[in-house]
Amino acid sequence: MPTLIPSSEDVRIYEVAVAISPILDQKEESTLLKEIDALFVEAQAKLLYKDPWTKRGLAYKIGGHDQAKFIIYYTEMPPEKIREFDHQLRLQKGVLRHLIVIPPKGYEAVSYEEKYQEWLKTRETQADVRRREKEEKVKKTVTDQAKRASKRMETRPKEEKAKPMEAAKITQELDKLIADSDLKL
């Protein structure tokens, strides 16, 4: 990414952020971008770097839209041309908003779209985090219970350990449990 340094004392570096309507079809959008590029040429601007973004949500609705496509331009332009450029950009149909700022000296242009796309691939949603944390908690609980159960079995005296019952004794015990006299029918 280029470090933004003016080529002469007669020009300044500007960062121009343009929000365009998200409902433009491909042909209308390319026409609008060509018109914006023509405005730069008319203002005797030299394009240093361009960072087109995908659709992004807006903090509030602009012209009935809650999303917009953004293009960030880093350009070198004579200061006396900026007022007319700003006015012409304001008149463009399809441009929802624009902002022109002077970046600090030594500012380096960065492709935020690339960083955003990388972040989208690696992000973990809040629901994913909660689900993962819940799974880890359940695993830990099950593991702790199994450890406690195995310790209890190891510390139990040998004579307390259950001995297998004979089939006749099992039948006799079951008959006692389900006797009609106990059920009070």
Q: What is the pLDDT of residues 97-141, one digit of tens each?
A: 999 999 888 787 778 888 888 877 777 677 788 888 999 998 888
Predicted confidence at residue 168, as pLDDT, reads: 83
Going along the chain from its start, the domains and CATH numbers come out as 12-122 (3.30.70.60), 126-176 (no CATH)
Separation between Cα atoms, residue 98 and residue 147, nearest integer Å? 63
d(C-alpha 52, C-alpha 27), whole Å: 16
The string of pLDDT tens digits covering residues 67-88 is 999 999 999 899 999 999 999 9
Closest C-alpha among 4, 130, 8, 138 to residue 78: 8
Q: Which comes out higher in pLDDT, residue 86 or 6?
A: 86
Continuous H helices in 74-157: 82-91, 112-122, 126-155
162 Rama class: left (phi>0) / alpha (psi -120 to 50) / beta: beta
pLDDT reading at 11 higher than 70 = yes
Residues 6+ apart with CB under 8 A from 47: 37, 40, 73, 74, 75
Say if pTM beats, i.e. exceeds, 0.85. Answer: no
Query: Under DSSP, is residue 22 helix (H, G, I), strand (E, B) or coil?
Result: coil
- The model's pLDDT over 31-55, given as tens digits with 9 standing for 90+, comes to 999 999 999 999 999 888 888 988 8
* Spatial CB neighbours of 44, under 8 Å, sequence gap ≥ 6: 77, 78, 81
Residue 147: the pLDDT is 85
Lowest pLDDT segment from 8-12, 50-54, 84-88, 158-162:
158-162
